[in-house]
Amino acid sequence: MKRLAFVVGGAAALALAGCNNSNQDAVNNAELNQPSAEDLNALSNQAAMDAANEEAARLANQQNELNEENAAAQQAVNNQEADEQNVSAM
């Protein structure tokens, strides 16, 4: 049992020894692959503008629909008033 524990402990030690934290090449590659702060800011600003434009278009469509509904309702009221005026004139 002690041998098994020793073997498992040795294997773990060897596995952890392979994890070298000071691998500068990997760090440099990671830094090279990262976009700059200016690029990230430009992308986030573009995404915000796209979202704002989509919201503005959606609200404009909603306003147009409401205007059409209001015009249709106003026309119905005007027709009723015209009918009432015609009846009272009889």
Domain hosting residue 77, numbered range:
51-90
Residue 59 lies in a domain: yes
If residue 79 lies in a helix (H) or strand (E), which one and from where to where?
A: helix 37-89
Q: Is residue 72 part of a domain?
A: yes
Gyration radius (Cα) of the chain, Å: 37
Per the domain annotation, does 90 fall within a domain? Answer: yes
Burial label, 13 (beta-carbon count in 10 A; 0-12, 13-18, 19+)? exposed
- pLDDT per residue over 1-16, tens digit each? 778 887 888 888 777 7
Q: Is 36 a domain residue?
A: no
Please tell me the pTM assigned to this model: 0.47
Q: How many domains does the chain have?
A: 1
* Residues 11-41: tens digit of each pLDDT: 887 777 666 666 666 667 777 778 888 999 9
Judged against a pLDDT cut of 90, whether residue 63 lies above it is answered with yes
Q: Return the pLDDT at 55.
A: 97
Question: Would you say residue 42 lies in a domain?
Answer: no
The pLDDT of residue 61 is above 80: yes
